[in-house]
Amino acid sequence: MAVVKANGYGHGILEIARALDGNVAYFGVSSLAEALKLRESKFESPVFILSRILKDELPLALTEGITLTVSSVEEAKEISEQSQALKRRSPIHIKVDTGMGRLGIPFSDAVKAIEAIAALPALELEGIYTHFPTAEREDGFIERQVRDFGLIVQALDHKGIRFKYRHGANSAGCVKVHSPIFNMVRPGLMLYGIYPDPSLESDIALSGILSLKTKIISVKHAKAGQTVGYGRDFVASTPTTIGLVPLGYSQGYPFKASNRASVLLDGKRFPLAGRVSMDYLAVDFGNHSVQIGDTVTLIGEDGDDSIRVEELASWADTIPYEVVTRLATHLPRYHG
């Protein structure tokens, strides 16, 4: 299951889906709006909503053939009733909470609840799944989750309740969890070549697929002592060249990277000059020759150097997920 929620983790949901269509068992999204966007594009791969949707959204979701998550008997009854009214059989995946503490039938109630769901008409129990909150750690918790999930699957199997898909592994789980209980994985951030946790760098080699580039729109020569930007945080210690690029926090570049981040030009790194503005970044190019129209790389490769999403996240004291999912939808996206 390719998880393409949050606009394909900022990369463009339709473009990512187009690249993967037909090569995955499912596209995973988090809302009906995302699911309908994929449906309208008539992709071959089916669509699965990882979250719960509201009762008044059910008729449209079922009519469009979207596979739904079920986290309670009550939800299953609602889907069953709507499916009967539409005279159709609807596939569902039942979520079991083995320790995430969010959606899902609690482990202790799971077998009894799933028996009740299996007795409802117009439902196809296609999948059963769980979620790992700490897959990157080696503290024994994920092993307990796998054990508990296996016990549920085994107990249901003895009762004749079986599932086509059994899944639990997010990106970190894809690397860390190896169990025959599961037959499908759900990579999210890792699908885009980004490490969800630094500890995974020794387990798998990933190459980011996203580059974020812009062009210099203004060049100024600042004298020693001159300041740049809000708060006058940047003070030129020597005469220097300041280049302005039209990208800031309204486009998703993190404000907390102010005075900390660097960009690439001609394969060299240059620091930001002062705070990130709403629509601009000022860059201290020193005595490097720059001109209007030069391409600046904020994420990605330039020459022999590169800036990864993970590095920008560290400058902003945040996680890589937040960096990419906050990239504004109005930014032009070009896909090779």
> One digit per residue, pLDDT tens: the chain, 336 residues?
999 999 999 999 999 999 999 999 999 999 999 999 999 999 999 999 999 999 999 999 999 999 999 999 999 999 999 999 999 999 999 999 999 999 999 999 999 999 999 999 999 999 999 999 998 888 889 999 999 999 999 999 999 999 999 999 999 999 999 999 999 999 999 999 999 999 999 999 999 999 999 999 999 999 999 999 999 999 999 999 999 999 999 999 999 999 999 999 999 999 999 999 999 999 999 999 999 999 999 999 999 999 999 999 999 999 999 999 999 999 999 987
Question: How far from the centroid of its chain's Cα atoms is residue 1's Cα?
Answer: 13
Q: Which CATH architecture has domain 2-202?
A: Alpha-Beta Barrel (3.20)
CB 284 within 8 A of CB 294: no
Burial 25-58 (b: 16+ CB within 10 A, else e): bbbbbbebebbbbbbeeebebbbbbbbebeeebb
> What phi and psi values does residue 32 have, to the nearest 5 degrees?
-65, -35
Cα→Cα distances 6→10, 31, 260, Å: 6, 9, 27
Task: Give the C-alpha separation, 140 to 143, whole Å.
Answer: 5
Boundaries of every domain in the chain: 2-202, 212-325
Catalytic residue, from 5, 9, 26, 95: name it: 5
Question: How far from the centroid of its chain's Cα atoms is residue 309's Cα?
Answer: 13
CATH number of 212-325: 2.40.37.10
Catalytic residue, from 55, 215, 220, 230: name it: 230
Q: Which residues contact 218 (CB under 8 A, 6 or more apart)?
A: 243, 244, 292
**Residue 136's pLDDT is what?**
87
**Residue 336's pLDDT is what?**
78
Active-site annotation holds for 5: yes
Of all residues in the chain, the percent with pLDDT exceeding 70 is: 100
Q: Which residues pair with 271 in a beta bridge?
A: 262
CB 90 within 8 A of CB 68: yes
Q: Which residues contact 16 (CB under 8 A, 6 or more apart)?
A: 2, 4, 8, 192
**Residue 48's pLDDT is what?**
98
Q: Which two tokens stand for residue 113?
A: 């609840």
**Residue 30's pLDDT is what?**
97
**Residue 118's pLDDT is what?**
98
Q: Is residue 292 left, alpha or beta, with left meaning phi > 0 and alpha meaning psi from -120 to 50?
A: beta
HEC sequence for 174-226: HHHCCCCCCCEECCCHHHHCCCCCHHHHHCCCCCCCCCEEEECCEEEEECCCC
